[in-house]
Amino acid sequence: MSNQSVAPQARIGIIGGSGLYQMDALQDPRSITLDTPFGAPSGDFILGQLEGIPVAFLSRHGQQHTLLPSEINYRANIFAMKKLGVERILSVSAVGSMKEEVEPGHIAIPDQFYDLTKGRKSSFFGEGIVAHVSLANPICPDLAVFVADTAEEIGGIVHRGGTYLCMEGPQFSTRAESDVHRGFGVSVIGMTNATEAKLVREAEMCYVTIALSTDYDCWHVSEAPVTVEMILQVLRDNVLFSKKLLQSVVKKVDGPRSCRCASALKNAIVTPSEAMSVSLKEKLDPIIGKYIS
């Protein structure tokens, strides 16, 4: 058995974005520090029970928001979730809206990504092992329905489907870029979720993006002037809503999985087992162990 193996400690993983740095509703919270073969995650994981379900919470940018989107060690974050036994990841993110109808304060549950990030480490493979997973449908369809239904039940205005454009940042778009992105037909823009989704798929977990619209990026010519206070108020309201949503949805999404996410690596690993080094097999054991002799 690999020295990386630990007993499953959580079934659902929650990644908090801007403004969501902790989950007050977690019962019996305990903080743990995890290391991975890919380095250290964004910070300590908070384990606890949410509505009786064992969950693991991680603040994507660090608990004090010290990491740029480009500085986040996405591989470590997702690998650590896998090690904890997580099967489903609910990823909360503040985004800019690229469509008139996705108003600030609305929730988007995208079903696609368009990745414009540059050179991020967004695969667990390489250095002796090659695998190509399908990303045709990067969001777990089951998880998306549960989350969208629940968000509506608790009073949210939800936009189902659509594309999340993932940009490198940290600067926001120029108006020229924003106009081009609008031409792509995307719904929202953010800086982190496409990278997460790729790694989550390789690790055979389910992923859903809960995109909370904070503003209209810079393409929108508004009649009323937008103040910083207005944006901050939207952010605060969105964070409160996301906490309520997470608490309401965990029980519904917990249970056996019937989606394809759990077998994403089946037939995806190209390199034969005998060509892999022992140390490589050991390193990736939580992810490839079940396919490797």
DSSP 84-133: TT--EEEEEEEEEE-STTS-TT-EEE-SEEEE---S----S--SS--B--
Give the strand pairing for 158-160 and 53-59: unpaired
* Residues 96-135 close enough to bind Zn ion by CB under 5 A: none
The 260-279 site mask, x for binding Zn ion (CB under 5 A), equals: -x------------------
Instruction: Report in angstroms how near the CB of residue 71 gets to Zn ion at its nearest.
Output: 29
**Residue 217 appears among annotated catalytic residues:** yes
Select from 89, 108, 144, 206 the one that contacts Zn ion (CB under 5 A): 206
Three-state secondary-structure class, residue 25: coil
Which of these is catalytic: 111, 217, 254, 285?
Answer: 217
Residue 40 near Zn ion by CB under 5 A: no
Residue 140 near Zn ion by CB under 5 A: yes
Residue 166 near Zn ion by CB under 5 A: no
Q: How far is CA 143 from the centre of its chain?
A: 12
**Residue 44 appears among annotated catalytic residues:** no
Rounded Cα gap, residues 76 and 44, in angstroms: 12
**Interface size with Zn ion, residues (CB under 5 A):** 4
Rounded Cα gap, residues 204 and 56, in angstroms: 17
Instruction: Report in angstroms how near the CB of residue 136 gets to Zn ion at its nearest.
Output: 14
Instruction: Report in angstroms how near the CB of residue 147 gets to Zn ion at its nearest.
Output: 12
Which residues contact Zn ion by CB under 5 A?
A: 140, 206, 259, 261
